[in-house]
């Protein structure tokens, strides 16, 4: 029998909990391990693989989603902690016809991505501030501060800064 520190594998099985939340406007309900991360819940339970996972300890921002309207690290949130929450992922940002959101168009226009791994997290972070009508300092320094929780290993950030400014300048970013 497989024994670890005196416990059988059966004894050490994770407890589970029925968890319900709204994801991109739809109610979802699953019985999940209490240790399951929200990022894994979105990717593996719901197939929403636009939420990326980089460091899995809160540093890179690739896993950023909106939790009750504010940006949050889905790798630092257990799925059960999101019980009852309203979650939005990158899959909700383009409209139902596949037309890109103004912010996504700005990223495309300004060449603000290369491999794109960081992009969903960047978009969800920026969008949460735009939609909440937060006062955003649109100087280079202010936008760098806004993006300081999202790491990009490809672009050097200059074009991302341009994209944020372009999107904010349109004043048309509040489309959902």
- One of 38, 41, 61, 159 touching ligand FES (CB under 6 A): 61
Instruction: Choose one: 12-20, 58-66, 94-102, 123-131; the region binding ligand FES (CB under 6 A).
Output: 58-66
SS (H, E, C) 67-90: ECCEEEECCCCEHHHHCCCEEECH
Is 126 a binder of ligand FES (CB under 6 A)?
Answer: no
Q: How far apart are CA 29 and CA 113, in angstroms?
A: 34
Is 157 a binder of ligand FES (CB under 6 A)?
Answer: no
Instruction: Choose one: 41-49, 94-102, 133-141, 146-154; the region binding ligand FES (CB under 6 A).
Output: 146-154
Instruction: Give me the least distance between CB of 49 and ligand FES, in Å please.
Output: 13
Residue 16 vs 45, nearer CB to ligand FES: 45
DSSP track, 109-174: HTT--SS-SSHHHHHHHHHHHHHTT-----SHHHHHHHTTT---SSS-SHHHHHHHHHHHHHT-TT
With beta carbons less than 8 A apart as the criterion, state whether 87 and 22 touch.
yes
- One of 18, 59, 94, 100 touching ligand FES (CB under 6 A): 59
Residue window 87-116: x/- pattern of binding to ligand FES, with contact defined by CB under 6 A: --------------------------xxxx
Residue 19 vs 125, nearer CB to ligand FES: 125
Instruction: Give me the least distance between CB of 117 and ligand FES, in Å please.
Output: 4
Is 60 a binder of ligand FES (CB under 6 A)?
Answer: yes
Q: Which residue has the tokens 């339970």?
A: 45
Q: How far apart are CA 61 and CA 125, in angstroms?
A: 9
Q: How far apart are CA 65 and CA 76, in angstroms?
A: 11
């Amino acid at each position: 029998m497989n024994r670890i520190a005196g416990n059988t594998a059966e004894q050490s099985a994770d407890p589970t909990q029925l968890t319900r939340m709204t994801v991109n406007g739809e109610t979802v309900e699953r019985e999940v391990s209490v240790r399951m991360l929200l990022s894994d819940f979105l990717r593996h339970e719901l197939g929403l693989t636009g939420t990326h996972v980089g460091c899995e300890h809160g540093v890179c921002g690739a896993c950023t989603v909106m939790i009750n309207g504010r940006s949050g690290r889905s790798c630092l949130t257990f799925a059960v902690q999101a019980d009852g929450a309203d979650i939005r992922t990158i899959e909700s940002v383009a409209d139902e016809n596949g037309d890109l959101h103004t912010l996504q168009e700005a990223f495309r226009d300004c060449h603000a991505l290369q491999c794109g791994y960081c992009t969903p997290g960047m978009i969800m972070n920026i969008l949460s501030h735009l939609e909440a009508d937060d006062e955003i300092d649109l100087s280079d320094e202010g936008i760098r501060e806004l993006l300081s929780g999202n790491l990009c290993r490809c672009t050097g950030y200059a074009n991302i800064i341009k994209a944020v400014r372009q999107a904010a300048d349109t004043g048309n970013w509040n489309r959902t």
